[in-house]
Amino acid sequence: MNSFNPPIRTLMGPGPSDIHPRVLSAMARPTIGHLDPAFVGMMDEIKVMLKYAFQTENELTMPVSAPGSAGMETCFVNLVEPGDKVIVCINGVFGGRMKENIERFGGIAVVVEDEWGTAVTPAKVEAACAANPDAKIVAFVHAETSTGALSDAKTICEIARKHNCLTIVDAVTSLAGVELRVDAWGIDAIYSGTQKCLSCVPGLSPISFNERALEKVRNRKTKVPSWFMDLNLVMAYWGTGQKRAYHHTAPVNTLYALHESLVMLMEEGLKASWARHAANHQHLKTGIEALGMKFVVPEADRLPQLNSIWIPEGADDAVVRGRLLNEYNLEIGAGLGALAGKVWRIGLMGQSSKPEKVLFCLAALNAVLKN
């Protein structure tokens, strides 16, 4: 068996996104112990920088030691108790995954449906809250990675708060790519991923819980049905105390990578990062339309960092993506679920959101579609 040397790709799918050499080399620094004082100091810096990225003062702001779907599960397994009614908005794959989480932890899911490729309709959330005064949580996806639709998190959180519901927000694809303000918008629990607009390696899921959410966790009638994800335990390791209690062995080197990607975010500035993602989306839009292709999501609901494009008539989905990969080392994303075979997803996230990459992607698409 030989060492694995990956091909050098340009990653313009739904994630992972391209990773800066600074992040890759940070990750390769020598491993130290997960209870080493030097490591604990780095953990504290990660927390500070994640608070900035999320725009929150929440003390419980930290990365879960597993990918985004484990971050999702950490939110639901801690906050949903058996019998809890949860309003869940589904406008793509990840809303559906939220429902699956709710039901596996004994919750009752009340579904608010919107068409795939559109945003969640706040009026439907309002109606569901009004019709279900016993609902305890509203859960929705801020940026649907499966379609590229951006929902109005601020308004949905206001509605939830008015009806005394907690909110669980999926920000896997939105964090650092579009405006997101956890405290100002009153988001109670949120999770994200590292491999999207942060341009870090996959494998970690930043989360943040406010006091309202933590109160529900602390006052549960039953133990959290997960040892690995129980925030009461995890917090003893990631907490504020001087003394960190061993919970699990943290993924030390992956956290080096996250630290470096957050340093880079702070150097750029959060608003500049949002603006860069918006600007490169405009470049892509101009080019895509010039090629005669159409976006799936109406312009008002469109995410800049995840662009779903209808596959042009006559083009073979797998053949085109295969040629892009094999001839140009370019990865773009396939459709998921109901959109499989019908759309391509072009990611302009983090280091993949650059004019040179937009230009290259358009040129490669043009070359493959015309030949």
Q: Which of residues 119-178 bind its own copies (CB under 8 A)?
A: none
Q: In this structure, what DSSP letter does residue 93 have?
A: H
The one among 40, 55, 103, 287 contacting its own copies by CB under 8 A: 103
Instruction: Tell me whether strands 60-64 and 205-209 are parallel, antiparallel or unpaired.
Output: antiparallel
Indicate whether 318 belongs to the interface with its own copies (CB under 8 A): no
- Please count the other Cβ atoms lying within 10 Å of the Cβ belonging to residue 335: 22
Closer CB to its own copies, residue 121 or residue 195?
Answer: 195
Q: Which of residues 244-273 bind its own copies (CB under 8 A)?
A: 246-254, 256-257, 259-260, 262-263, 266
Indicate whether 307 belongs to the interface with its own copies (CB under 8 A): no
Closer CB to its own copies, residue 44 or residue 289?
Answer: 44
Q: What minimum distance in Å lies between the beta carbon of 163 and its own copies? A: 26
Contacts of 272 (CB under 8 A, 6+ apart): none
- 358, 284 contact by CB (below 8 A): yes
The one among 224, 339, 364, 365 contacting its own copies by CB under 8 A: 224
Q: Which of residues 7-46 bind its own copies (CB under 8 A)?
A: 7-9, 11, 13, 15-16, 18-19, 22, 24-34, 36-39, 42, 45
Closer CB to its own copies, residue 157 or residue 198?
Answer: 198
Q: What minimum distance in Å lies between the beta carbon of 25 and its own copies? A: 6
Indicate whether 241 belongs to the interface with its own copies (CB under 8 A): no
Indicate whether 342 belongs to the interface with its own copies (CB under 8 A): no
Query: Locate tokens 């966790």: which residue?
Result: 217
Contacts of 87 (CB under 8 A, 6+ apart): 110, 112, 125, 128, 129, 132, 135, 137, 138, 139, 160, 165
Closer CB to its own copies, residue 186 or residue 251?
Answer: 251
Closer CB to its own copies, residue 29 or residue 212?
Answer: 29
Closer CB to its own copies, residue 28 or residue 363?
Answer: 28
80 membership: H or E segment, kind and range: none
- 122, 154 contact by CB (below 8 A): no
76, 134, 180, 203 from 58: Cα distances, Å: 18, 27, 14, 22
CA 310 to chain centre: 23
Q: Half-sphere exposure of residue 248, counting CA atoms within 13 Å on the CB side?
A: 14
Count of residues that bind its own copies according to CB under 8 A: 80
Binding mask 62-81 for its own copies (x = CB under 8 A): ---xxxxxx-xx---x----
